[in-house]
């Protein structure tokens, strides 16, 4: 009988989750077209707070404690796309501090729910305004901190403890895990700390290592690096990276090559990372992977390339990994017809429906779980009615016994339906909406889907 290989010893129990920050694993990717190169990803999603930002959170809080600006029982205030806030909460709450975080309204709801579950005071502000506007998230955070006794505005964008965390921990870990042989590291820029910290470290420890920037289309950073051009900032759906200004912590002179990655490519790359490598990463991880793949394919000789899984994709299940959201954002490869079919994110097979013999309790639960206000009623695949919140309320409000929600959907649904055919133009929606109805779209006698006002608004925004 052959001896089984011995596993390395497991680490002893940690005193707290603070001791689990850093020392994250590295994985080589296979199943991707990497040209002549080998591509590795460092799983920063394995940090206890689920992202690379745990590192800078600990560094910035400890620096504020050391210089006396953050005292016991004080308040930490920050402007964040979510992950820095989660990192600050992960560290700060264990140290007994209060947290007040200002986040833009485009952030995934999972991040906001996570923060509030930790007892954080979350203020949501506009994502369509720039620096200098009072509702811009950084300006708002700074103003709030100034009005709170014992508060410290951490300001990851200018705080030197941010890049120092990567210079002293992330960089040395990467070089050690790669056996001292790294040709390029692909990063994104939110605050600039990762780029600057890693760039400084590798400039000294491994001068051959090139820093490569993957930047969302609409951000001003990649055009500055590649063309010396300062563009008018656009908008992008990827969270956590891309900027409309150059943060103080962002040293773009460290960048050797920059790529502009459209949202559709980022989302597709993140989803491929899950299906091909079993790694659930966030939207920015998709941007970095897309940039790393471009870099690898452009090389003419073998290179060892590293990029990061910046955070866990569990915070983006309602977005990046939601087929309906991806379609609504126009980020999926989808044939456009110039008619009502273009507005239906869910097909008949994906739509949330109810049957006539289901109870009103079933209808209520499906509305709540799917966050919709109406359900098509299908009988043997045929549309026979529609039940909405008003129908539900009227039906249960008329009963005084325990059978309110035990009634059948058939007794409450609306059977007189105004339907549209899939080939009709968008103008056909307006009379429907004027009657305060939802548009029911058919293809012949087959139910295709529903169109609401917000579906039309989303479509018009994509076309703008």
Q: Which residue in the block uniquely carries the two structure tokens 């150059």?
A: 246
In the numeric block, which tokens belong to residue 320?
């990046």
Decide: 384 and 415 in contact? Cβ < 8 Å. yes
Half-sphere exposure of 231 (CA within 13 A, CB side): 17
Number of H helices, E strands in the chain: 16, 15
Strand order in the sheet with 98-104: 121-125, 98-104, 75-79, 151-153
Whose structure tokens read 């890049």?
163
Active site residue 16: no
Cα(463)–Cα(457) distance, integer angstroms? 10
The Cα–Cα gap between 247 and 195 comes to 11
The helix-helix angle for 109-117 and 83-92 (nearest 10°) equals: 10
Query: Where are the strands (E) in 166-266, listed by range?
Result: 184-187, 210-216, 255-261
Sequence-separated (6 or more) residues with CB below 8 Å from residue 47 = 20, 21, 22, 24, 54, 55, 87
Q: Distance (Å, rounded) from C-alpha 190 to C-alpha 84?
A: 10
Catalytic residue among 206, 219, 272, 284: 284
The CA distance from 281 to 308, in Å, is 9
Q: Which segments of 206-252 does DSSP mark as H helices, in order?
A: 221-227
191 is catalytic: no
Sheet holding 184-187, edge to edge: 26-28, 38-43, 304-309, 184-187, 210-216, 255-261
Tell me the longest C-alpha to C-alpha distance in the chain: 79
Catalytic residue among 42, 45, 53, 266: 53
Catalytically annotated residues = 53, 284
């Amino acid at each position: 009988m052959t001896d089984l290989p011995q596993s390395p010893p497991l680490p002893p129990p940690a005193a707290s989750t603070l001791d689990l920050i850093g020392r994250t694993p590295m994985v080589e990717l296979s199943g991707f077209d990497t040209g002549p190169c080998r591509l590795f990803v460092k799983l920063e999603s394995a940090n206890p707070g689920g992202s690379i930002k745990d590192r800078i959170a600990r560094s910035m809080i400890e620096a504020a404690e050391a210089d006396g600006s953050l005292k016991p029982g004080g308040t930490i205030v920050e402007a964040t796309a979510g992950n820095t806030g989660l990192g600050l909460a992960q560290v700060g709450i264990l140290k007994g501090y209060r947290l007040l975080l200002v986040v833009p309204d485009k952030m995934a709801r999972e991040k906001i729910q996570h923060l509030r579950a930790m007892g954080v005071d979350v203020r949501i502000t506009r994502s369509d305004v720039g620096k200098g506007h009072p509702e811009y998230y950084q300006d708002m955070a700074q103003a709030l901190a100034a009005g709170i006794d014992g508060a410290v505005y951490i300001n990851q964008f200018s705080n030197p403890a941010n890049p120092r965390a990567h210079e002293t921990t992330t960089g040395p870990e990467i070089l050690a895990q790669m056996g001292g042989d790294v040709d390029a590291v692909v990063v994104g820029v939110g605050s600039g700390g990762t780029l600057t910290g890693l760039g400084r470290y590798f400039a000294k420890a491994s001068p051959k290592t090139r820093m490569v920037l993957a930047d969302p289309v609409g951000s001003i950073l990649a055009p500055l690096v590649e063309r010396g051009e300062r563009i008018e900032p656009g908008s992008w759906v990827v969270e956590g990276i891309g900027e409309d200004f150059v943060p103080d912590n962002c040293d773009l002179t460290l960048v050797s090559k920059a790529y502009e990655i459209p949202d559709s490519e980022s989302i597709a790359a993140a989803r491929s990372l899950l299906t091909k490598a079993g790694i659930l990463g966030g939207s920015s991880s998709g941007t970095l992977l897309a940039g790393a793949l471009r870099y690898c394919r452009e090389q003419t000789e073998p290179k060892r390339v590293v990029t990061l899984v910046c955070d866990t994709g569990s915070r983006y299940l309602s977005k990046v990994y939601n087929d309906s959201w991806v379609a609504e954002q126009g980020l999926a490869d989808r044939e456009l017809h110039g008619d009502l079919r273009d507005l239906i994110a869910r097909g008949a097979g994906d739509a949330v429906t109810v049957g006539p013999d289901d109870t009103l309790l079933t209808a209520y639960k499906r509305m709540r779980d799917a966050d919709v206000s109406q359900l098509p009623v299908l009988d043997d695949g045929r549309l026979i009615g529609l039940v909405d919140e008003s129908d539900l309320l009227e039906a249960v409000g008329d009963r005084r016994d325990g059978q309110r929600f035990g009634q059948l959907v058939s007794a409450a649904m609306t059977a007189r339906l105004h339907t549209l055919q899939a080939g009709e133009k968008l103008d056909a929606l307006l009379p429907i909406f004027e009657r305060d109805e939802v548009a029911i779209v058919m293809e012949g006698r087959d139910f295709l889907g529903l169109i609401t006002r917000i579906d039309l608004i989303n479509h018009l925004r994509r076309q703008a």
